[in-house]
Structure 1
């Protein structure tokens, strides 16, 4: 069915109640390797329910875990948009955290299509969701960019040129390394994304990969955790924003190197970091690009 941009943009937002438990948070942290490095110890602030703190990127899976009964659907089925899973590519992800996330809780999640652009051979769908706590205050806002192959041709408007984030022309201030385990994708999928691309070798081969690949949001979460550990002194509340494009896959067992350039205080108590994440086992092939993080300045 052709995309109906006007219908997609004018549709009422979907509203649902979500909930999560400390068990969901613990599983998310473990799926990103928390507590696995003997050099850092058990990381009890992320792996033990007493004094548990929450990585901001948990917002991307809150309320969608298997234990909650909510899992990712097989495609994109919204007013004016009906696209099969096989045509979809998660192109980019943005997150803004408005306040520290509780280790368990409930929220009202309002989601809408923020924009749809005709890119010729594909459509770029921008989805926006905001979670509001029981007190009526916003907890987080996410912006998801989805590339829908073969769905272009519905308008003559390709949209504005994408903002390109270019690292400064100097060595990175910090380089962070994130190691993944061979079973990393099998753990991460228990957060709710059961796409067989991340578990079944036959499905992966049919999609053009030698073996199952790691979820893009797992790489995203690994980078978020690396920033907290390596730049923010382990303080999860200092990471308030993370934006990135997904540039290439990662195979479980490979590692990530994230180069970080500091840009100095922004004047509002925050600092913008420029990031570039690559896979050293594949000659520095990019994994996350055009990436920035917003952090509370030290």
Structure 2
């Protein structure tokens, strides 16, 4: 059995020092489609070093995504990347992420759930610098064909969308080359670049990274509902409900619910096929 759940959860946490600077932040933002229009003052906050702020979802790629990518190859795990999909993602922010920094990133397998025909790994990463905790990140990794080992099924909750019309709806196009640019922030899974590998995984062409859709959506919420203030984000969680292909358009619907924004993301060209579901941004 490629996954030994008990061994994976019992494995010692792995810690490593990570570093990032303004170029890493700028590259990440550009991979999300920031910078259009290039001279827009609101976009320059994502692209120009003298005005830069950091979108909280940068936590998923800081240190080249060490926590998620490295977590797939720990003790008790022997995983074919063609069988892997990102099932969900949660980030809790303890304070705003600095434009440049050094931190210790500590990662472990927090849980392994048995979904029958698949397994879900919960990879938890905590980052802290000299001033204290920065963020806690939980990645839910769906591994096809690795279930059936008799483990717990784990939590299963779905959020109903509000019955009223959304408070805000925007559409964001995904460039044809966006996955190629986004992967330079650290996720080099060939599923997002190589047509032959994508075909082996069951797709007729490479798909966009789920975390790219995740970051694009948070940027839309920050810019549309939170007045462009990244420091207001407290946590952000989603379930990846479907794939996105480069060249498609995301329809992002937002409902303001007190200190939370509930979000639904769909693919316009495929009759609003689900992309992100059970999505909540908590804010101050």
TM-score normalised according to structure 2 size: 0.94
In the alignment, structure 1 residue 213 sits paired with structure 2 residue 207 = yes
Which residue of the partner structure matches residue 295 of structure 1? Answer: 283
Q: Note the aligned Cα RMSD (angstroms).
A: 2.0
What is the distance in 2 between the residues matched to 1:12 and 1:192? 24
Tell me, yes or no, if structure 1 residue 168 matches structure 2 residue 162.
yes
- Whole-Å separation in 2 of the counterparts to 1:78 and 1:250: 29
Confirm or deny that 1:126 pairs with 2:108.
no
SS at structure 2 position matched to 1:54: coil
Structure 2 equivalent of residue 63 of structure 1: 63
Whole-Å Cα distance in 1 between the matches of residues 122 and 26 of structure 2?
A: 30
Which runs of 5 or more structure 2 residues have no equivalent in the other structure? none
Hey, which of these two has a bigger chunk of helix by percent?
2
Could you say which residue in structure 1 is the equivalent of 2:79?
Answer: 83
Match of 2:21 in 1: 21
Map of 1:7 onto structure 2: 7
Aligned-residue offset at 1:194: 1.3
| CA-CA distance at 1:14 after TM superposition | 0.8
Deviations 1:51-101 (A, max 9, x none): 311011111000117xxxx79759822222222212211111111111010
Contact 2:122–2:139 at 8 Å: present in 1 too?
yes
Structure 1, residues 99-118: CA drift from partner, whole Å, max 9, x if none? 01010111101111111111
- Size of the aligned set, in residue pairs, is 284
Report 1:23-62 matches (<5 A).
Answer: 23-37=23-37, 40=40, 43-62=43-62
User: Which of 193, 198, 207 is the matching residue for 1:199?
Assistant: 193
The match for 1:116 among 87, 90, 112 is 112
C-alpha distance in 1 between matches for 2:145 and 2:70: 17
What CA distance in whole angstroms lies between the structure 2 residues aligned with 1:13 and 1:150? 26
Distance 1:75 1:294, change over 3 A: closer
Structure 1, unmatched stretches of 5+, are 265-270
Residue 147 of structure 2 aligns with which residue? 152
Shift of 1:40: 3.9
SS at match of 1:63: helix
Give the counterpart of 1:223 among 189, 196, 217. Answer: 217
Report what 1:268 is aligned to.
none
Question: Taking structure 1 as the reference length, what is the TM-score of the superposition?
Answer: 0.89
Structure 1 residues 217, 112: closer, same or farther in 2, change over 3 A? same
Contact 2:35 2:47 in 1 (8 A): yes
Contact 2:67 2:106 in 1 (8 A): no
For 1:242 and 1:188, the matched residues in 2 are separated by 20
Matched, 1:139 2:134: yes
Q: Give 1:203 deviation, angstroms.
A: 2.3
Deviation at 1:272, TM superposition (A): 1.4
Contact 1:278/1:285, CA 8 A, preserved across alignment = yes
Contact 1:75 1:83 in 2 (8 A): no
Q: Which moved more, 1:207-216 or 1:35-44?
A: 35-44
* 2-structure distance, mates of 1:190, 1:112: 24
CA distance in 1, matches of 2:67, 2:179: 16
Partner residue of 1:255 out of 249, 260, 276: 249
Question: Aligned partners of 1:101, 1:152: CA distance in 2, in Å?
Answer: 36
